[in-house]
Amino acid sequence: MPSSLASTPALAQRLRGVASSPVRDLLALLDRPEVISFAGGLPAPELFDLDGIRAAFDAVLSTGAGRRHLQYAPTEGDRDLRTLVARRMTDRGLPTGPDDLLVTTGSQQALTLLATALLDPGAVVAVEEPTYLAALQCFQLAGARVVPVASDDDGIDPDDLADVLARERVTLLYLVPTFANPTGRTLTAERRAAVAGLAARYGTWVVEDDPYGELRYRGTPVPALAAQPGAADRVVHLGSFSKVVAPGMRLGWLRAPAELRRALTVAKQAADLHTSTVDQAAAAAYLGAADLDAHVRGLCTAYAARRDAMVAALPAALPAGSTWSDPDGGMFVWARLPGGADTADLLRTALAHDVAFVPGAPFHAGPPDRATLRLSFTTNTPDRITEGMARLGRALRP
């Protein structure tokens, strides 16, 4: 035994570059019932189909097969669930079979598996700027260098992407092409074709993260990036039940070319063996018994009214000269304040007025635009949104 105590064991190097967000501490203050929060990207809990989900769990645990659903199971995922998910994807214009899919513990796990399977330390990941915060964290944890690509109201800019691809050896391009987090923007069909063409030309993997695509409140669906000609051997499409059924089930899936899917399956074995058997069985029972399309239509009706309430309140709530997105679907409005505002500072003032949002800086891979903020409109009713936006207006008044 050494005579003196050694210092605390060190953390892994890879954790060094991953910043913890100071905003997290502020958001901990949200837990007061008087705060109207536009911060979390949470679906509305009162719209969960509690009866349908309870019935599905009851059904799978009440049959003779009930014990099987409590047992270990193959990593690839429940075959009935994959069959039902593949059918829905095919109906939505992305031809898919059950064997094309790997069930994941939320689509967040798919991001981790992709980072494990594809990213060596120092690998370059290109992302639209701004992008989903937890994807940035995931790529940074893998030791990747994340390079931002400019985007506008139509999504990622193919010209800037072409420049980045010509300049850097990009291993993976990460996109949320439909109703993006945090901007709410959708990549146009023309740009999808351009992105697929560029990825094929430069030999880049593309991750199409699509948790929001079914939440469309107006306009017509745009075909998936994975459905573009030439995309089949390089685009990985991620889906999730989190926004259309319930995030607590932690159920997602990925659709990937065969060879990559096998590597991702090995990575998943090492991560968690498989996603919860009973949750997968219940989800399959739910998809078999409930009318998920009708449920999603109900969500869209409710969320459209919430989006409208928020967008209607923005001109009075934000200072003159502000800009914002008016999303066709999803959960978020992205706004920018004029005059060198720093929304992290303004969050303190907003919380003093019992209203919250997420400052935009952490969504940036490059130098952050601190005048930006994300407002989620799904968690509150239209009346609460109107009240919350009035509070925000008072908080932002000079």
**Which residues sit at the interface with ligand PMP, rule CB under 6 A?**
41, 106-108, 132, 176, 181, 209, 211, 240, 242, 247, 252
Residue 176 or 227: the one with the smaller Cβ distance to ligand PMP is 176
For residue 133, give the 3-state DSSP assignment.
Answer: helix
Measured from the CB atom, the residue of 362 and 393 that comes closer to ligand PMP is 362
**Letter for the amino acid at 12?**
A
Q: Determine contact, residues 156/128, Cβ cutoff 8 Å.
A: yes
In whole angstroms, the minimum distance from the beta carbon of 240 to ligand PMP comes to: 3
Query: Nearest to ligand PMP by Cβ — which residue?
Result: 106
Bridge pairing between strands 170-175 and 205-209: parallel
Enclosing H/E stretch for 32:
none
Shortest approach of ligand PMP to residue 144 CB, angstroms? 17
- Name the residue nearer to ligand PMP (CB basis): 249 or 396: 249
Nearer CB in complex with ligand PMP: 158/177 = 177
Cβ-based nearer residue to ligand PMP, 39 or 337: 39
Sheet holding 124-128, edge to edge: 101-104, 252-255, 235-240, 205-209, 170-175, 124-128, 145-149
The answer to whether 102 touches 77, Cβ cutoff 8 Å, is yes
Least spacing, CB of residue 242 vs ligand PMP, in Å = 3
Cα-based angle 177, 145, 233 (whole degrees, multiple of 5): 50
Roughly what angle, to the nearest 10 degrees, separates helices 277-289 and 50-62?
A: 120
CA atoms within 13 A on the CB side of 310: 27
**Closer residue to ligand PMP, CB minimum distance, 184 or 393:** 184
Contact yes or no for 39/347 (Cβ under 8 A): no
CA 319 to CA 322: how far, in whole Å?
6
Least CB distance from residue 332 to ligand PMP, whole Å?
9
Minimum distance of ligand PMP from residue 245's CB (angstroms): 10
Decide whether 253 or 324 has the Cβ nearer to ligand PMP: 253
Nearer to ligand PMP, 75 or 107 (CB): 107
Q: Which two tokens stand for residue 32?
A: 């007061």
Q: Give min distance, CB of 340 to ligand PMP, in A.
A: 29
Beta carbon of residue 64, minimum distance to ligand PMP (angstroms, whole number): 31
Nearest to 208 by CA among 133, 99, 97, 111: 111
What is the closest distance, in whole angstroms, from the C-beta atom of residue 169 to ligand PMP in the complex?
25
Q: Which is nearer to ligand PMP, 130 or 388 (CB)?
A: 130
Min dist CB 41 to ligand PMP, Å, is 5
Cα separation of 249 and 251, whole Å? 6
DSSP secondary-structure letter at 93?
Answer: T
Tell me whether residue 108 or residue 204 sits nearer to ligand PMP (CB atom).
108
Burial bucket for residue 304 (CB in 10 Å: 0-12, 13-18, 19+):
middle
CB of residue 285 to ligand PMP, shortest distance in Å: 20
Which of 241, 244, 263 has the alpha carbon at shortest distance from 252? Answer: 241
Rounded to a whole number of angstroms, the minimum distance from the CB of residue 103 to ligand PMP is 12
Distances (CA, A) of 363 to 42, 87, 101: 17, 34, 29
Compute the chain's Rg from CA coordinates: 22
* Of residues 176 and 300, the one with the C-beta less far from ligand PMP: 176
Separation CA 343–CA 339 (nearest Å): 11
Q: What order of strands is seen across the sheet that includes strand 358-359?
A: 323-324, 332-336, 372-376, 358-359
